[in-house]
A and B are shown apart, each in its own frame.
Chain A
């Protein structure tokens, strides 16, 4: 069990650029979640997958955001035409079929949009 990994850990970009983040969940975890966290606040739910199916998207996930989990393993979160308000920590989590109530989080990707 190597834990949830995320790449990159830090990303600085200019307003208007596209960015893509990757999340590798714990192997055999069928659920994968994306959250966003701003300074001083708790994480906010963005979306989640069960295997390769994206089952819910938060209203926070505007049309500029897209997430995929093509083979039910790793996932990517893309932000198009980034805005300064997108600056945040993007967290990925996963959970196993036998213990869905416990989500294991990765270290996050910290995005700064200049």
Chain B
């Protein structure tokens, strides 16, 4: 599985847009990019997945440049309840998810 690099932590304020960039220089042709969110004492929750260009759902947007060596998760107008750890995963949708340490996003009032 391709290794990913993402910031350890990010701080934001309510109502702001949060962008988390993940680097995956060795991404393979068949790999997808997937983001999960995890609150304390809960299991991770699927947020969004993409292969190229842009994907948007009711929770977030995922931007993937043409070379696919990085991706950016965008959380619009965050609230206090968006405080969580966000994981970037890269893989070919095989069974084995490989999580890194994730990015701890802290939203302040």
Partner of B102, one of A42, A102, A105, A106: A42
Chain A: number of interface residues, binned into ranges: 20 to 34
Interface of chain B residues 49 through 93 with chain A (CB within 8 A):
49, 85, 87, 93
Minimum CB distance partner of A55 in chain B: B95
B2 CB–A CB distance under 8 Å: no
**Alpha-carbon separation in the docked complex, A81 to B102 (Å):** 32
Asked if B32 and A101 make an inter-chain contact with CB atoms under 8 angstroms apart, the answer reads: yes
Min CB distance A45 to B, Å, is 5
Asked if A108 and B43 make an inter-chain contact with CB atoms under 8 angstroms apart, the answer reads: yes
Chain B: number of interface residues, binned into ranges: 20 to 34
Contact residues in B for A104 (Cβ distance below 8 Å):
46
Asked if A33 and B46 make an inter-chain contact with CB atoms under 8 angstroms apart, the answer reads: no
Asked if A4 and B43 make an inter-chain contact with CB atoms under 8 angstroms apart, the answer reads: yes
**Alpha-carbon separation in the docked complex, A100 to B102 (Å):** 22
Min CB distance A14 to B, Å, is 23
Minimum CB distance partner of A37 in chain B: B99
Minimum CB distance partner of B1 in chain A: A45
Min CB distance A51 to B, Å, is 13
A91 CB–B CB distance under 8 Å: yes
B28 CB–A CB distance under 8 Å: no
Min CB distance A6 to B, Å, is 8
Min CB distance B54 to A, Å, is 18
A72 CB–B CB distance under 8 Å: no
Partner of A102, one of B42, B46, B87, B101: B46
Contact residues in A for B102 (Cβ distance below 8 Å):
42
* Interfacial residues, chain A to chain B (CB-CB below 8 A): 4, 31, 33, 35, 40-45, 48, 55-56, 91-93, 100-108, 110
Counting from the closest, the 7 A-B pairs by CB-CB distance are: A42-B99, A105-B43, A101-B93, A45-B96, A102-B46, A43-B99, A91-B43
